[in-house]
DNA sequence: AGGAACGTTGACAGCGCTACCAGCAGCGAC
DNA sequence: GTCGCTGCTGGTAGCGCTGTCAACGTTCCT
């Protein structure tokens, strides 16, 4: 016997086809590749579909075609501002086309990532966006065996699984430190939280730049595995200052920490940048508006997400980009907090003041 | 003829059933309702599934069962910090169970929301989370006709579609203004951006509180449709000050604006709170760490997302919550920026200082 | 004019799973 | 012993769509 079920009055493809006077398969093609139809049938199917308010059943499509139109995205955090920009780019790129985004949070655990990857892959996604280059061996093997395009985002490194978009955190950190040296600073501290692989590489970049100048000392580095926050920035800076009273600059692994350091300086009545210079990382919006305005390393997060999704979609549709690895670079945005020109006391007036001096560098060249 | 296709060596349910020595339908039941099986078969199917590494094909399941295990989420913005907290709650709640989250961004457009709603509903989601209570009539009708549970989040109001979780933005704004009155402020400005319905209700609350005290004047209100930012806070405050030089407090519709106002005060050498008090809205993390620490209205965003998803899942599984409308309330977190006790100049030491005085109110009582 | 090539269309047979119903065993009640 | 109940299991028949291939009409080439 057949079944009753809800019926639900749902319009099926066959009904559209009937109204349009074509076979179901022709109607089906209309939705997937309209150019394959003659103009006459195309318009007939189109108006029939509109008249009936037809919406394709994605589950049936996925079952029959053995593939989904889902782009899986694995990111390590939903809290972090950085990822919300990337995500926004990804969602924006997915808008207006057939693909939908399936998001999962690895919580900075590569084991969790491996588990989620297995889950995702089982559903045959159309493509995958994964964060970073530090997958487990197992994950790496699964990614390589996957029969869908894959983009690694947030950083670039050797040996991409497939496509890759990001920048060199190592080089970016070196550039930030170089900027501080240029401004005449020598005892430059490093403040970092969470210490995920990308923050770790920023630390590596800092260390190498400091060693190049023969200025590195272990006690200039304060890090913690704790998730980042503004408050934490103040606390870590407090530690750093206790260890190294002669500190004359701080390079913060992100902007929240930098803001925390700025507030802590204000609390302690330490003049920024005259006594201590501050450089952040990511160039979040508030950096330009703080007092003093805060120097940061600008990273193209939104563009990264958007381009990653676009590259992926192109690849899904068979048009592999000629550039599978894209270095988006970074820019050191110099502002008052690290400027050796003594911060003029600016009177009334809003905004960030003078145009930012930008130091742009493509990463990957040391 | 049959077809070739990739084959892909995928394990099907039938293979698990065969290995376990049961019928496919019994194996199917194991994955959906293990309690319905005898212990013997249960363990047999379980080990067979594990041995073969079986993962169910969700598309086939959705097609056969006429429903998905997808929770649709419609939010107006991915940029706004507020929503990232809510989302984090939703994703956390969806972890470890069968449901997956399908997210879409309405960009604060109720027309876009309507379009997305139509799209979502066509895929028969297991449940839906929508933001706010200001849907189009068409959207409203679709929601009411939908045969799945629905939660409206972010605010509470009369006449819920189904379930609802949030708080009264109107009451929260009134409480913030009342707090400023208590601290002796009279000429209290309002700064708002974006002016989505919830911000509008905060403005309404502000206006009503000011009128109650016979202190309302239109020129105390500065708003814009522009998306919010820290920089914008400074700009709007500049406008406000130009209109009303006697200003003695500002109620900001969100914390980014409040931070912008604080920076602008610093830039203009206006003492906070002595000359001007500042109150924000949402109580983002940085508020407790700013100098001076910033008063704000705490809202339970993470909890809201998490509880909304949990309520939804309960309802999907047939256990409707006894409380379909949940008021999560708010708290005015009083900090230095609005304290009439003159801000003692605190010497070295990090953090927010003395315990926050909290003024807790369940919203819904005026 | 004949044939190849192309563009367009349709028939068929599932994709992998589950709703529905029927059946069977085991048990207690009469 | 028979009935009805409950608990478990299985057979059948699709869910709505698309991959494959075949077939058609038309155009273009030789």
Residues A12-44: tens digit of each pLDDT? 999 999 999 999 999 999 998 888 888 888 899
Q: What pLDDT sits at residue A223?
A: 98
A277, A59 in Cβ contact below 8 A?
no
Task: Express each pLDDT in A270-320 by its tens digit.
Answer: 999 999 999 999 999 999 999 999 999 999 999 999 999 999 999 998 888
pLDDT at residue B344 tops 60: no
> Cβ contact (<8 Å) for B63 and A60?
yes
What is the mean predicted confidence (pLDDT) over B88-103? 92
pLDDT at residue B247 tops 80: yes
Q: What percent of chain A has pLDDT over 70?
A: 90
Give the bases of strand D that a protein CB approaches within 7 Å. Answer: 7-21
* DSSP-based three-state secondary structure for B244: coil
Task: Express each pLDDT in B164-213 by its tens digit.
Answer: 999 999 999 999 999 999 999 999 999 999 999 999 999 999 999 999 99
- pLDDT-derived band at A190 (thresholds 50, 70, 90) equals very high
Q: Which two tokens stand for residue A178?
A: 């170089």
* Paired sense of beta strands B249-252 and B296-298, if any: unpaired
pLDDT at residue A356 tops 60: no
Give which of B285, B275, B286, B279 is closest to B246, Cα–Cα: B275
Phi, psi of A223 (to 5 degrees): -135, 165
What is the mean predicted confidence (pLDDT) over B255-268? 98
Nearest-5° Cα angle at A82, A76 to A88: 95
The distance (Å) linking the CA of B117 with the C1' of D2 is: 58
What is the mean predicted confidence (pLDDT) over B358-363? 48
pLDDT at residue B340 tops 90: no
Question: Which residues of chain B between 6 and 65 are close to nucleic strand D, CB under 7 A?
Answer: 22-23, 25-26, 29, 35-38, 40-41, 60, 63-64
Domains of chain A: 13-56 (1.10.260), 70-167+302-327 (3.40.50.2300), 169-298+330-343+352-361 (3.40.50.2300)
Nearest-5° Cα angle at A127, A122 to A129: 100
The distance (Å) linking the CA of B38 with the C1' of C28 is: 21
Q: What pLDDT sits at residue A102?
A: 94
Q: What pLDDT sits at residue A9?
A: 57
The distance (Å) linking the CA of A4 with the C1' of C19 is: 9
Min Cα distance B342 → chain A (Å) is 16
What is the mean predicted confidence (pLDDT) over A54-72? 91
- Mutation for testing the A interface, residue in B271, B286, B302 having most A CBs under 10 Å: B286
What is the mean predicted confidence (pLDDT) over B299-326? 94
Q: What pLDDT sits at residue B97?
A: 86
Q: What pLDDT sits at residue B3?
A: 35
Give which of B357, B313, B307 is closest to B331, Cα–Cα: B357
Q: What pLDDT sits at residue A5?
A: 36
A153, A308 in Cβ contact below 8 A?
yes
Distance (Å, rounded) from C-alpha A163 to C-alpha B162?
A: 44
What is the mean predicted confidence (pLDDT) over B80-87? 92
Distance (Å, rounded) from C-alpha A154 to C-alpha A300?
A: 10
Instruction: Decide which of A204 and B348 is more confident.
Output: A204
The distance (Å) linking the CA of B28 with the C1' of D6 is: 22
Q: What pLDDT sits at residue A341?
A: 59
Lowest mean pLDDT among A153-162, B19-28, B255-264, B329-338: B19-28
- Counting every residue written for chain A, the total comes to 366
For residue B352, the chain A residues in CB contact (below 8 A) are: 231
Distance (Å, rounded) from C-alpha B44 to C-alpha B60?
A: 23
Lowest mean pLDDT among A62-66, B204-208, B259-263, B359-363: B359-363
Q: What pLDDT sits at residue B9?
A: 56
Enumerate the β-bridge partners of residue B74. Answer: B104, B130
Terminal Cα distance for chain B, rounded:
73
Among B5, B88, B267, the residue with its CB nearest the CB of A291 is B267
Q: What pLDDT sits at residue A183?
A: 96
pLDDT at residue A357 tops 80: no
Instruction: Decide which of A363 and B267 is more confident.
Output: B267
> Cβ contact (<8 Å) for A263 and B8?
no
Give which of B307, B284, B288, B325 is closest to B84, Cα–Cα: B284
B18 CB and strand C closer than 7 A: no
pLDDT at residue B346 tops 60: no
pLDDT mean across residues, chain B: 89
pLDDT at residue B225 tops 50: yes
* DSSP-based three-state secondary structure for A329: coil
Give which of A254, A284, A306 is closest to A129, Cα–Cα: A306
> Cβ contact (<8 Å) for A91 and B68?
no
Run of H or E residues at A223: strand A221-223
- Mutation for testing the B interface, residue in A100, A286, A294, A337 having most B CBs under 10 Å: A286
Q: Which nucleotide is nearest, taking the CA of residue A42 and each C1'?
A: C8
pLDDT mean across residues, chain A: 89
pLDDT at residue B93 tops 80: yes
Task: Express each pLDDT in A152-172 by its tens digit.
Answer: 999 999 999 999 999 999 999
What is the mean predicted confidence (pLDDT) over B6-20? 77
Q: Which two tokens stand for residue B264?
A: 């602008």
Report the 10 Å Cβ neighbour count for B98: 14
Q: What pLDDT sits at residue A355?
A: 38
**Chain centroid, CA B306 distance in Å:** 9
Q: What percent of chain B has pLDDT over 90?
A: 76
Distance (Å, rounded) from C-alpha B31 to C-alpha B46?
A: 9
Q: What pLDDT sits at residue B164?
A: 98
Distance (Å, rounded) from C-alpha A53 to C-alpha A183?
A: 65
Instruction: Decide which of A349 and A10 is more confident.
Output: A10
């Amino acid at each position: 016997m057949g079944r009753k079920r809800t019926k639900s009055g749902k319009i099926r493809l066959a009904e559209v086809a009937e109204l349009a006077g074509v076979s179901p398969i022709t109607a089906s093609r209309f939705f997937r590749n309209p150019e394959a139809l003659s103009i006459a049938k195309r318009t007939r199917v189109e108006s029939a579909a509109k008249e009936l308010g037809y919406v394709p059943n994605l589950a049936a499509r996925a079952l029959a075609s053995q593939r989904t139109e889902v782009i899986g995205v694995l990111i390590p955090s939903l809290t972090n501002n950085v990822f919300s920009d990337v995500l926004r780019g990804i969602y924006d790129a997915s808008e207006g086309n057939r693909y939908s985004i399936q998001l999962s949070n690895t919580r900075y655990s590569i084991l969790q990532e491996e588990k989620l990857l297995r889950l995702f892959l089982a559903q045959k996604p159309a493509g995958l966006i994964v964060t970073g280059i530090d997958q487990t061996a197992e994950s790496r093997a699964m990614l390589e065996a996957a029969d869908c395009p894959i983009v690694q985002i947030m950083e670039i490194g050797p040996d991409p699984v497939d496509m890759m978009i990001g920048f060199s955190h190592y080089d970016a950190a070196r550039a930030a430190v170089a900027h501080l040296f240029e401004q005449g600073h020598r005892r430059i501290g490093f403040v970092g939280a969470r210490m995920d692989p990308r923050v770790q590489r920023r630390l590596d970049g800092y260390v190498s730049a400091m060693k190049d100048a023969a200025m590195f000392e272990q006690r200039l580095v304060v890090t913690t595995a704790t998730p980042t926050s503004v408050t934490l920035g103040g606390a870590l800076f407090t530690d750093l200052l206790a260890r190294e009273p002669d500190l004359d600059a701080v390079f913060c692994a992100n902007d929240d920490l930098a803001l925390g350091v700025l507030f802590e300086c204000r609390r302690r009545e330490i003049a920024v940048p005259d006594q201590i210079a501050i450089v952040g990382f990511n160039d979040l919006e508030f950096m330009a508006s703080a007092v003093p305005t805060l120097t940061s390393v600008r990273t193209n997060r939104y563009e990264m997400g958007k381009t990653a999704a676009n590259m992926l979609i192109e690849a899904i549709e068979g048009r592999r980009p000629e550039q599978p690895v894209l270095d988006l670079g970074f820019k050191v945005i110099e502002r008052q907090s690290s400027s050796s020109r003594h911060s003029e006391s600016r009177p009334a007036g809003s905004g960030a003041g003078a145009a930012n001096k930008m130091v742009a560098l493509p990463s990957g060249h040391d």
